[in-house]
Amino acid sequence: MMPAIQITNLQKSFGEARVLKSISLHVEEGEMVALIGSSGSGKSTLMRHLSCLTLADKGSDSEIEVLGTPVQSKGKASKDIRRTRARVGNVFQQFNLVNRLSVLTNVLIGGLSRVPVWRSMLGWFTREEKQEALKALELVGLREHALKRASELSGGQQQRVAIARALMQKAEIILADEPIASLDPESSRLVMETLERINRELGITVVVTLHQVDYAQKYCRRAIALQGGEIFFDGPITALDGQMLSRLYGTQMGSEP
């Protein structure tokens, strides 16, 4: 098995603020991992490194490998970083769909990095691509909504369209940063079940940040908890007991960011 993600000694500062302090971690292909920790602990910053969208501090000895490819070393991008970026799908708290386009087109957009530029400019898609997009919508339970405008769907449904778009991208890792933070409990459950299903059925590696622990306990076997830019815990989620959780969240337990 190839490690999906391998991080050694990642350090990231913004000015004087040291936001990630010597993070090392390893995620195997096919794992579904919750990244937890209170607001400001560094989860989104770490996710941006995993998406290959930001670089570690210059002069640090940080190393990051994604899908067996070194993507950055000592704060410098590797030459393969763009190609690797295309193999990683992102799902954000705000669903980032094109509201006026159909659900199907939003999913098709996920495959644009795989089609020739002239075709993507014209918005031309082949029958095979449409079939593939419909299959992705089927997997997230939204096939019958394919021809609606994205804006007609509920927040939870839009989030599942964003997951289908990542499937269309043929993402081998899906990074979901607070995908349920703005959803009601029922929609949250459906989104988490969808992430769990694509992990289980398609073997896609999933890293999902959740600022509270309850959904992580329900859907993920492993948790990595950040506190103040350091790894506070990394292991089976069942090993996170009440005492650790109150140390992790302090008085912020259950509060919104």
Return the number of the residue (54 or 102) whose C-beta is nearest ligand ADP. 54
Residue 245: count other Cβ atoms within 10 Å of its Cβ.
Answer: 17
Residue 60: count other Cβ atoms within 10 Å of its Cβ.
Answer: 18
16-35 positions binding ligand ADP, by CB under 6 A = 17, 19
Return the number of the residue (55 or 103) whose C-beta is nearest ligand ADP. 55
Q: Least distance from C-beta 177 to Mg ion, angstroms?
A: 6
CA pair distance 40, 28, nearest whole angstrom:
26
Q: Least distance from C-beta 19 to ligand ADP, angstroms?
A: 4
Return the number of the residue (37 or 110) whose C-beta is nearest Mg ion. 37
Residue 116: count other Cβ atoms within 10 Å of its Cβ.
Answer: 9
33-52 positions binding Mg ion, by CB under 5 A = 43-44
69: which strand partners? 66
* 44 scored as a contact of ligand ADP (CB under 6 A): yes
Buried b / exposed e over 71-92, threshold 16 CB at 10 Å, is bbbeeeebeebeebbebbbbbb
- The amino acid that residue 175 corresponds to is L
Out of 42, 110, 111, 156, the only residue in the binding site for ligand ADP (CB under 6 A) is 42
CA pair distance 205, 49, nearest whole angstrom:
16
Return the number of the residue (44 or 182) whose C-beta is nearest Mg ion. 44
| Binding string, residues 45-84; x marks residues near ligand ADP by CB under 6 A | x---------------------------------------
